[in-house]
Chains A and B, each alone.
Chain A
């Protein structure tokens, strides 16, 4: 079945450091890919998405590129802030399956001043 694997955390960074969170997936066909973010005590919010190969999703300084050849959707940000401390989830929606999501295990990111 479909699955998403992302790097385990926690990832601890200093402010203004470069952030990368790796995400790889297993799915048939051409799924849509998403990154969601969860701030403490809150539900998940969509951060960005990409719906076809080579698409780049971007939002709030975060970027991720849909790489079909490596089945990856790594999340990057060039200069993190303390406010970026959160749990980040990679997810996929299988092709022609409505909007059901399969999530990775989540990566906790802690940014220190």
Chain B
């Protein structure tokens, strides 16, 4: 009963390093999302994918890229990490019908020094 699985759970990077956060879901959902969570700001949408092969920018896409590898997997890449990208990152998935809830992973805590 995995739901949404994110790896890694924790990571420390140096400024300028690159990294890919992995996300996989086993609920046969079409839509997948990447958010970042910062204190007092709730969750902000970075990118989303409404279906395999499509991706769109969210509210805060700068400095990130995504790949929807297949229906199950949606990865987030930081090409050149900056301290401002220190955050907790959440992946989520949902069905495509309106008002379907999003299901979240447990998050990746990323620190950039």
A residues at B contact (CB < 8 Å): 4, 8, 32, 34, 41-46, 49, 51, 89, 91, 93, 96, 98-106
Kindly identify which residue among B4, B48, B106 contacts A100, using a CB–CB cutoff of 8 Å.
B48
With A32-B99, A99-B100, A101-B102: A43-B45 Cβ-Cβ less than 8 Å:
no
Q: Does B90 contact A (CB under 8 A)?
A: yes
Task: For residue A32, give the distance in angstroms from its CB to the closest CB of chain B.
Answer: 5
Chain B positions 83-113 with a Cβ under 8 Å from a chain A Cβ:
90, 92, 94-96, 98-102, 104-107
B106 touches A45 (CB 8 A): no
With A43-B105, A106-B42: A99-B98 Cβ-Cβ less than 8 Å:
yes
B43 touches A99 (CB 8 A): no
Residues in A with CB closer than 8 Å to B100 are 99
Instruction: Count residues of chain B with CB under 8 A from any CB of chain A.
Output: 26
Interface majority SS (helix, strand, loop, mixed), chain B: loop
Task: For residue A86, give the distance in angstroms from its CB to the closest CB of chain B.
Answer: 14
Residues in A with CB closer than 8 Å to B12 are none
With A43-B90, A43-B106, A98-B50: A105-B98 Cβ-Cβ less than 8 Å:
no
Task: For residue A10, give the distance in angstroms from its CB to the closest CB of chain B.
Answer: 12
B residues at A contact (CB < 8 Å): 4, 31, 33, 40-45, 48, 50, 58, 90, 92, 94-96, 98-102, 104-107
Task: For residue A106, give the distance in angstroms from its CB to the closest CB of chain B.
Answer: 5
Residues in A with CB closer than 8 Å to B44 are 103
Nearest opposing residue in chain B for A95, CB measure:
B98
Nearest opposing residue in chain B for A9, CB measure:
B40
4 residue pairs, one from A and one from B, having the closest CB atoms: A43-B104, A103-B42, A46-B101, A44-B104
Cα(A85)–Cα(B100), bound, Å: 26
Residues in B with CB closer than 8 Å to A32 are 98-99
Residues in A with CB closer than 8 Å to B42 are 4, 89, 91, 103-106
Nearest opposing residue in chain B for A52, CB measure:
B99
Nearest opposing residue in chain A for B29, CB measure:
A99
